[in-house]
Structure 1
Amino acid sequence: MFERIPPRVMIAFKKVMFLLVFFVAMLPYNAWQMMQENGNWNLYAWWPLFVIFGIIPVVDHLVGKDSSNPQEDEVERLAGQRWYSLLTLLAVPTQLAVLAFGAWVLVTTEQFSLAGQIGWILSCGIISAILSINVGHELIHRRSRLENWAGGLLYASVCYAGFKVEHVRGHHVTVSTPDDASSARFGQSLYHFLPRAYLGNVRNAWKLEAKRLKTLGLPALHWRNELIWWNAVSVGFAVAALLIFGWAGLVFYLGVSWMSFTTLEIINYIEHYGLHRRKLPNGRYERTTPAHSWNSNYLITNLGLFHLQRHSDHHAFPTRRYQVLRHYDGSPQLPTGYAGMYVLALIPPLWFRVMNPRVKAYYEGEEWQLSAQEFEQSVA
C-alpha cells in the first residue's frame, strides 16, 4: 500500500504516527470504560490482549509494509530533531500512569473473578512491556544522561534493570553466538529458551558490572555499582505498590513485571532465532551485520514499537536513533510483525513449521551453520 509513496512523505507521516504507542497505552482505560458500560468485567479485562494479539496482526497485513529509508542528507537532520526524543521520554510518565491505574482498578473492582484478575494483570503487563521494555531499549542506547537514565528507570519499573547493562555491554557484543543467552539457536523452543535467558542475562549483567568496577579498582559491591541502585528502585516500586494498594497491589506489580520482562525475552527469541555469526580462522566471530537479526517492515507494528522491528539495522548500527533505522532487502525477513510472531512463538510446532524453512533457506549451501551442538554446550 505504501511502496509507491515517496520516502520523504512516509517519514513525515510516521513522524506523527509514532504517537500510536500512546493510543495503545490507553487500552487499559478503554477496557475499563467498556467494563462499566457493559458490566462484563471479566471479559473486557482481556481486551488489551485481544487487540494486540488478535486485531493488530490482521490490521498489520491489511495495511502492509513500509520499506522507506531516509536519504543520506536527511539522516543527521532527522536524528537531531527533539520531537522524536520527546516521544520516548513521554513513555516514562505514561508507564507510571499505567501501573498506578492498573493497580487501582484491580484493587477496587469487586466484580473481577480470578480469570478477570489474571486477564487484567496480563493486559496491563503487555502495555507495560511496550512502554518500559520497548521504549527503554531505545533510551539505554542514548548517550544523553537524561535519556539513558530514563531508560534505566523504565526497566527498573518492571524489575529487570539488569537488561540496561547486559544488553548494551553483553548482548550487542555476543549476539548470534553461543555466548549470548538472548540468541535462540536453531530448533530451540521458546520454553527451553526462556529460563536460560532469564538466568543468563541477570547473571551476565552482574558479571559485566563487576568487571567494569574492577577496572576502576573497586569491588563489585560498591555504591558505584549501578545495578544496586536500579534494583533498589525496583524494590521501591514494590514497596510503594504494597503501601498504597495493599497485597493485591503488590501481586499486580509483580505480575505486570513478570509479563513485561517475559515479553522482552520472547521478543529476543524472535529477533535472533537460528541466526549465527561465523567463526573466523583467528577464533573471533565475524562482525555483526544486518544478516544476524530478523527484520520486519509491517508498518502498524513498527509505528507502535518505534521501529524496533528494523532490528537488523539496529544491531549493525546500535547508536542509530529509531527514526533513522533502515530497511535492508538482504536481511532475513519475518513473515509478519512482532504481534503475530509473539503468538506463533508460544506454539512451538507452528513456530518450527513457519520459521525453520526460512532459516534453512537463508543458510542454503552452508547447512553446517544450523548445527546446535556448540550452542547447546554453551547454554547448558
Structure 2
Amino acid sequence: MTPSPKPLPLAGFALATLLPLPLLLLGAGLGGVWLWAAFLYMAVLTILLDQLVPLTSGAAEGAEFPAADILLVTVGVGALGVLPLATWAIAGPGPLGAWERVILFLAAGFWLGQVAHPAAHELIHRPRRELFRLGAAVYVALLFGQHASAHRLVHHRHVASDEDPNSARAGEGFYRFAPRAWAGSFVQGLRAESELRRRGSRLGLHPYFLYVTGSLAALVLALAIAGLPGLLVWLGLALHAQSQILLSDYVQHYGLTRARLPDGRLEPVGLRHSWNTAHWFTSAMMLNAPRHSDHHAHPLRPFPALRLPPEDEAPRLPWPLPVACALALAPRRWRRLIRPHLARWQAASPAQDTGA
C-alpha cells in the first residue's frame, strides 16, 4: 500500500524560494561560482529534485500559517531589492565579465518570474491592505502593475472563457496569446477598476494612476543607477519576468473552457478549468502555484494548504510547470505534446473546444 503524501513544512517552501537570493547577491558582487550556482539552481537543479518525491499533500484544512505571510513579505522585499541590484551589476561599471552579466540576467529573471511572481500573486489575494500593496508594488516594479487588478477582477471571474484575455484557446500559440493577454488584461482591468469607482465601491486614487506612475518611477531609478544601459537592463528583466507570468497563464488554462448555462451565464469555476502539476520541488519554489485548480476554487486559501486534485477530477500536466512553459515556447511541439492530454478533457466535457 502506497503511503499517503505528507504536507511540506513551511521551512521547505522557505528554503526552495529563498536559497537563490544569497546566491544572486553574492553573484552580483563576486561573480564566478555564485552566479553559476544561482543559474543552475533555477534552470536545472529544481527540475532534477522534482524527480525525487512525486508530490506532497496540502496542510490540514483550517490550519493557521502565521509564518507564511512573513515568507511572502521576505520574497516581495527581496524582489524589490534584486531588480536595482541586478541592474547595477549588469549595466554598471562593476567587476563582472560579459558572460557573467548574461548569466546574472538569466538567473535574476528566472527568480523574478518563478518565485517573486507567485509571492506577489499570493500577496494580492491577501485581505490585509499592506500585503496587497506590497504584491502590487512588485508587479509595478516589473512594469506589470495591471496584473494586480486584472488577475483578481477579470481573470478569476471569467477564467476559461473568451471573456478572459489570460485564458489561452485550444490551438492558440503562445506568441499570439502573449500580446492579446497583455493588452487585454490592461484594458479589462482598467475597465473593472473604473466600474468599481463609478458605482462608489472604491474611493481614492485610481490604481492605474499608481501603476503607471510607479512604473515610470522604476525606470527613472534605472536611469539613475546606470544611465541608458540601466534603463535597458531593467526593461529586459521586467520583460523576462513578464514572459514567464504570461507563460504560466498560457499553460495553466490552455484549451480549457467553461460551459454556458441556459440563462447565458458561465458555469461556476471548477477544478476542471485549470491544469495542475504534481512535482514537489518546483511547486514548493513557486509557492504551490502549480496547484492551480484549488487556487481558483478557493482564491483566499493560503498557499501551504492548497491541494492537488485527483487526476480524474482535474487535468494534470505530465511535466513540471517550468518545463511546460519552456515547451510552450515552441508552439508546434507544444500542441503536439499537449493534444492527447487535452483530448481527455474535451471528450469528458462537451464545452471544450476542439481546435488543438
TM-score normalised per structure 2:
0.90
Letter in 2 for 1:24: P
* TM-superposed deviation, 1:365: 5.2
**Within 1, Cα distance between the matches of 2:83 and 2:216?**
15
Taking a change above 3 Å as real, the CA distance of residues 228 and 75 of structure 1, as seen in their structure-2 partners, is same
Pairwise CA distance, 1:324: 0.9
Match of 2:330 among 338, 347, 352: 347
Secondary structure in 2 matching 1:18: helix
Contact 2:79–2:116 (8 Å) recurs in 1: yes
* 8 Å contact kept, 1:128–1:260: yes
Q: 1:227, 1:101 → 2: CA distance? A: 26
How many angstroms does 1:28 deviate by? 2.6
Task: Say whether 1:56 aligns with 2:46.
Answer: yes
1:360 touches 1:367 (CA, 8 Å); kept in 2? no
Greater alpha carbon shift after TM alignment, 223-232 vs 269-278: 223-232
Alpha-carbon deviation of 1:111? 5.6
Are 1:337 and 2:320 an aligned pair?
yes
Q: Give the match's secondary structure for 2:19.
A: helix
Q: Secondary structure at the match of 1:370?
A: coil
1:302 is the counterpart of 2:283: yes
Deviations 1:219-243 (A, max 9, x none): xxx9620111132222212111211
Q: CA deviation at 1:6?
A: 5.7
Q: In structure 2, what is the Cα distance between the partners aligned to 1:315 and 1:275?
A: 13
| 2:127 is aligned with 1:143 | yes
| Structure 1 gaps, min length 5 | 38-43, 374-380
Match of 2:19 in 1: 23
- Which residue of 1 is the match for residue 183 of structure 2? 199
* Aligned-partner Cα distance in 1 for 2:270–2:75: 29
Q: 2:5–2:56: 8 Å Cα contact kept in structure 1?
A: no
The 1:224–1:293 alpha-carbon spacing in structure 2 relative to 1, beyond 3 Å, is: same
1:163 equivalent in structure 2: 147
In 2: Cα distance, 1:256 partner to 1:45 partner: 16
Residue 66 of structure 1 is matched in structure 2 by 55
Q: Go from structure 1 to structure 2 and tell me whether the alpha carbon gap of 1:361 and 1:118 turns closer, same or farther (over 3 Å shift).
A: same
Q: Which amino acid aligns with 1:23?
A: L
Quote the Cα distance in structure 1 between the aligned partners of 2:186 and 2:268: 25
Aligned to 1:41: none
Indicate which of 350, 363, 371 corresponds to 2:346. 363
Identify unmatched segments of 5+ residues in structure 2: none
Q: Match of 2:268?
A: 287
Q: TM-score, normalised by structure 1?
A: 0.85
**Structure 1 consecutive aligned stretches of length 4 or more whose deviation exceeds 6 Å:** 44-47
Q: What corresponds to 1:378 in structure 2?
A: none
User: Could you say if the C-alpha distance between residues 49 and 362 of structure 1 is closer, same or farther in structure 2, counting changes exceeding 3 Å?
Assistant: farther
User: Structure 1 counterpart of 2:47, which letter?
Assistant: P
1:181 and 2:179 equivalent? Answer: no
Report how far residue 147 of structure 1 moved. Answer: 1.1
Give the distance between the partners of 1:345 and 1:50, measured in 2 at CA: 21
Deviates more, 1:326-335 or 1:103-112: 103-112
CA distance in 1 between partners of 2:259 and 2:201 (Å)? 35
- Find the counterpart in structure 2 of residue 312 from structure 1: 293
CA contact (8 A) 1:66 1:297 kept: yes
Letter in 1 for 2:323: G
Residue 5 of structure 1 deviates from its aligned partner by 5.3
Quick one: distance in 1 between partners of 2:62 and 2:332?
44
**Aligned partner of 1:108 among 93, 96, 119:** 93
2:170 and 2:355 in contact (8 A); partners too: yes
* C-alpha RMSD over aligned residues: 2.5
Is 1:77 the equivalent of 2:77? no
Alignment of 1:93-132 (within 5 A): 93-106=77-90, 107-109=92-94, 112-113=97-98, 117-132=101-116
Task: Select the residue among 213, 222, 232 that pairs with 1:232.
Answer: 213
Give the letter aligned to residue 347 of structure 2: E
Flag the 1:365–1:334 CA change in 2: closer, same or farther, 3 A: closer
Single out whichever of 81-90 and 117-126 deviates more from structure 2: 117-126
Deviations 1:141-169 (A, max 9, x none): 11111111111111111011101110000
Superposed displacement of residue 100, structure 1:
2.6
Specify the SS of the correspondent of 2:63.
helix
Looking at structure 2, the residues matched to 208 and 170 of structure 1 have their Cα atoms a distance apart, in angstroms, of 7
Q: 1:92 offset after TM fit, Å?
A: 2.3
Residue in 2 that maps onto 1:92: 76
My pick for the range that moved more, 90-99 or 262-271, is: 90-99
Question: Is contact 2:154–2:188 with CA below 8 Å preserved after alignment?
Answer: yes
Helix, strand or coil for the counterpart of 1:364?
helix
CA displacement 1:94-120 (0-9 Å, x = unmatched): 11221132122111246644x664543
